Structure 1
Amino acid sequence: MADISIVQAHSLTPERARAAAQEVADKIAREYGLACKWEGDVLRFERSGVHGALTLGAQQAAMEINLGFLMGAFAPSIRAKVAEKMQKVFAAA
């Protein structure tokens, strides 16, 4: 199983951080066919071969993605796309 971990700093209010997290989740959900749901400050997502969470902190957002065997081959490209989206959404917001 391949694991992807991305931490993105931000200086957003909790409400704006949650909106930014939802924007990232919406983009990733469309692109990879993920189902997402909030549990407090943690946005959990999953589909066959992929599951993970986006956890909001006061000054950072942390994404953890666990990939199944078949999806593991795509880990570098998935990591690059997700990191780019998180940087754009959280840093620019």
Structure 2
Amino acid sequence: MPPPQARHAVQEVAEMLAQRFGVEYGWDGDVLNFNRAGIDGHIALLPQELHVRAQLGFMLSMMKGSIESEIRRVLSERFH
């Protein structure tokens, strides 16, 4: 996928995270950072791959499965 399309797809993931989990997000170059109380993470656009990292605080760790599956679902829809 060309970089502008990949960036748009990751932007859609960020918008979903903001809507569903209340995170704030912003771009720093090719890295989309997202956070809120209890969540800190990023999605990095690298050549031919994405790197996704999210650290969850204790309270949100109970939602790990839900957050992870939603990120995977949206990325899978956009990148396949």
TM-score by length of 2: 0.93
Alignment partners' CA distance in 1, 2:60 and 2:42: 17
Report how many aligned residue pairs link the two structures. Answer: 80
Unaligned regions of 5+ residues in structure 2, if any?
none
Q: 1:37 aligns with which of 26, 29, 33?
A: 26
2:40 maps to a residue whose letter is H
Alignment partners' CA distance in 2, 1:22 and 1:50: 17
TM-score by length of 1: 0.81
Tell me which stretches of 4 or more aligned residues in structure 1 moved more than 2 Å: none
- Coordinate RMSD, CA, aligned: 0.9
- Any residues of structure 2 matched to 1:54-73 within 5 Å, and which? 54-73=43-62
Give the structure with the higher percent helix: 2
Identity value in percent: 34
Unaligned regions of 5+ residues in structure 1, if any?
1-11
